[in-house]
Amino acid sequence: MRRIGLILLAIGLAGFLFASARKSHYETGAASATVSSPAAEGVLRWEAARWLLVGVGVIGVVFTVLPGKQA
39 near 31, Cβ under 8 Å? yes
pLDDT for 14-38, tens place per residue? 999 999 998 888 777 555 555 566 7
Query: Does the global pTM surpass 0.95?
Result: no
* Residue 26 CB partners (closer than 8 Å, separation 6+): 39, 42, 43, 46
How would residue 66 be classed by pLDDT, with cut points 50, 70 and 90? confident
pLDDT for 29-62, tens place per residue? 555 555 566 777 778 888 999 999 999 999 999 9
